[in-house]
Structure 1
Amino acid sequence: MKNNQENDYLDYWLSITNIQMSISNELESALQKNHTLSLKEFYVLYYLSKTSDKQLRLQQLQEMVGLSQSAISRLVGRLEAKSCGALQRHICEDDRRGIYTRLTPLGEEKLERALNTFHKILDSAFSKGNLQRELQSLMQKL
């Protein structure tokens, strides 16, 4: 009996994962097409925008976005260069080993435009009746 319940939970988990992956793929495609941003790049801009001084240590961003140290460094480098200065890197005054990145006004503008696309995709995904039914069905089974 327990094995069937464990398999049910696995099936529920896979359903949730498939829903999330489908929406993520749609977001990735739309952000890339309309704003030349990857989903991870969008998340970096968004997380920076949520802080009071629009900056975070690279290590903090690395944890938030779920990338390795070298991957977050490359991503920030791309956003500094390709996005017309969306980010600006600087060394921490107190701890010379700490590297911060700051969202620039150009980065904020890029994020605002990308947010419109992001919200449209989410509105579309969550307003689809079949997605709502599928999520309600999963919740009832749990």
Structure 2
Amino acid sequence: MNNELLDNWLSLSHIQMKINNKLEIAFQDKHNITLKEFYVLYHLLLADDKKLRLQDLPDLVGLSQSAVSRLVTRLEAKNCKGLERDVCEGDRRGVYTRLSARGEEEVRKCIDTFHQIYVSAASEQNIKQELQILIKKI
């Protein structure tokens, strides 16, 4: 039985998991946020007016609607007050979350941390070798 596609997929997932774990630890230690919280802040940084509808966030960060709602509530309550909620003027049912100035400052620091950790992890010999083998297969 030829399981090359499955083996390639598992190898790629393994590489991503190793790097995600390193990022998660670094974000917790340096910024007191999770990797998923960073993803929310980053997507808001990229958005027009630095705001998005809450219902758009689950697809962007890979969480359920209820998990995103809890995550946004945590980010609003944390000491940095990274997010602020807005009600949509045209549709009272629509709720937006907006990146605050403090949140923007924090996400920019997190981006620096991301770069440091990613470059360090990607250059680790075992990850580098696993990635090179995978690239040759593909």
Q: Same fold (TM over 0.5)?
A: yes
In structure 2, the residue matched to 1:11 is 7
Q: Which amino acid aligns with 2:96?
A: Y
Shift of 1:139: 1.8
- 1:56-83 per-residue CA deviation (whole Å, 9 max, x = no partner) reads 0001111111111111111101000114
Choose from 65, 80, 87 the match for 2:83: 87
Choose from 19, 24, 31 the match for 1:28: 24
Shift of 1:89: 0.5
- Bigger RCO (CA 8 Å, 6+ sep): 2
Contact 2:15 2:131 in 1 (8 A): no
Tell whether 2:91 aligns with 1:108.
no
Tell whether 2:66 aligns with 1:70.
yes
Higher alpha-carbon deviation: 14-23 or 61-70: 61-70
Equivalenced residues, count: 138
Q: TM-score, normalised by structure 1?
A: 0.91
Q: Which amino acid aligns with 2:99?
A: L
Write the distance in 2 (CA, Å) between the matches of 1:25 and 1:132: 16
Q: TM-score, normalised by structure 2?
A: 0.94
In structure 2, the residue matched to 1:135 is 131
Identity over aligned residues, as a percent?
A: 57
Q: SS of the counterpart of 1:56?
A: strand
Write the distance in 2 (CA, Å) between the matches of 1:126 and 1:22: 10
Write the distance in 1 (CA, Å) between the matches of 2:47 and 2:57: 12
Q: SS of the counterpart of 1:37?
A: coil
Contact 1:83 1:107 in 2 (8 A): no
Shift of 1:94: 0.9
In structure 1, the residue matched to 2:53 is 57
Q: Which amino acid aligns with 1:59?
A: Q
Give the root-mean-square deviation of aligned CA atoms.
Answer: 1.2
Which has the greater radius of gyration? 1
Shift of 1:84: 2.7
Unaligned segments of structure 2, at least 5 residues: none
Choose from 24, 37, 40 the match for 1:41: 37
Write the distance in 1 (CA, Å) between the matches of 2:132 and 2:18: 18
Write the distance in 1 (CA, Å) between the matches of 2:64 and 2:122: 31
